[in-house]
Structure 1
Amino acid sequence: MGLLTRWAIGAVALYLTVLLGDKLGFKLGFTGTGAQSVVAAFIAVLALTLVNALIRPVVKLLTLPLSCITFGLFGLVVNALMFYLVGELNVGLKVDGFMAALFGSVVTSVLFGVLNTFLGDGKKRDE
C-alpha cells in the first residue's frame, strides 16, 4: 500500500506543480486535458521515478567534483536535468526550458514532502 500511496501523492504534487507553474508563467504542462492530464501525471511520476532510480546516480557520480565545489548546490541542477529529461521523453509531461525544469523539480519535491507528511501512511521508509 505504501508504494501506491507514494505514487498517488507524487502525481498530486506534480499536478499541483504544473498548475502553479502555469500561473507563474513557467512553461509546464501535460499532454491532453481533464482526465488525460491526470493519467499523464501518474505516468510522468512513474517515468520520473525510473529516471531517478536508473540515471540520476550515474549523473550524480559524474558531477561529484562540481557538487563538492558548489557545496552540494549542483544537486539542484542534477534534479532539474532529470525533470527536464522526463519532459523530453514524451510521457505526458511538457517542460519548456531549464528554468521551468528547475522550478518544477524544486516545487514538486517540496510539495511531495509536505503532502507525504500529512497524507502518507505514517511509516518511515527505513523501517
Structure 2
Amino acid sequence: MALALVIKVLVNAVALWVCTLLISGIELGGSDKGTRIATLIVVALIFGVVNAVIKPIVKTVGCAFYILTLGLIGLVVNGLLFLLVGWLSGQVGLPFHVAGFVPAFWGAIVVAIVGFILHLIIPDSLDRE
C-alpha cells in the first residue's frame, strides 16, 4: 500500500515535470535540481490530495452537468482543479506557477496522458493499492 502511494506521487511528479516542459504558462522555479525535484514532489502531493478530496465532491454536486455534457465538463473540472493546485502551491510558497485556465486545461490533459502511459509501463504488482 505504501509503495503504491509512493509510485503514484512519483508518477504525478514526472507528469507535472513534463507539463512544465511542454506547456508555456506552467512554470517550475527553483535555483537547483534538488529544489525543483522537491517542489515537484510536494506539488504532486497537493495534486493527489485535491484529486482525492475535492474532485469527488465536485463530481457528486455536478452530476447533472456530467450527464448533460456526456462527461465533457470533466475536462473543464480537471483544468480548474489543476489551476487550484497551482494556486495552492503558490500559497505555501512553492515555486510552481500556473498562469491561467488555458495552461491549466492543457496541463490536466498532459498529466492524464503521461500518468496513463507511466501506469502502463509500471508493473501491476508495484502499482496496486
Instruction: Tell me the TM-score normalised to structure 1 length.
Output: 0.86
SS at match of 2:71: coil
Structure 1 match to 2:43: 44
**1:23-102 mapped onto 2 (5 Å cutoff):** 26-33=24-31, 34-89=33-88, 90=90, 91=92, 92=94, 93-102=96-105
* Structure 2 alignment gaps of length 5 or more: none
Distance 1:121 1:6 in 2: 13
The alignment partner of 1:32 has SS state of: coil
Q: Kindly provide the amino acid, as one letter, of the partner of residue 54 in structure 2.
A: I
CA contact (8 A) 1:11 1:41 kept: yes
- Misfit runs of 4+, over 4 Å: none
Gaps of 5+ in 1: none
> Cα RMSD between the aligned structures?
1.6
Q: Percentage identity across aligned positions?
A: 32
Contact preservation (8 Å) 2:9, 2:48 = no
What TM-score results when the alignment is normalised by the length of structure 2? 0.85
How many residue pairs are counted as aligned between the two chains?
A: 121
More helix, by proportion: 2
Q: Which amino acid aligns with 1:114?
A: I
Quick check: 1:16 aligned with 2:14?
Answer: no
Shift of 1:84: 0.5
Take 1:109 and 1:101, find their aligned partners in 2: how far apart are those partners?
A: 12
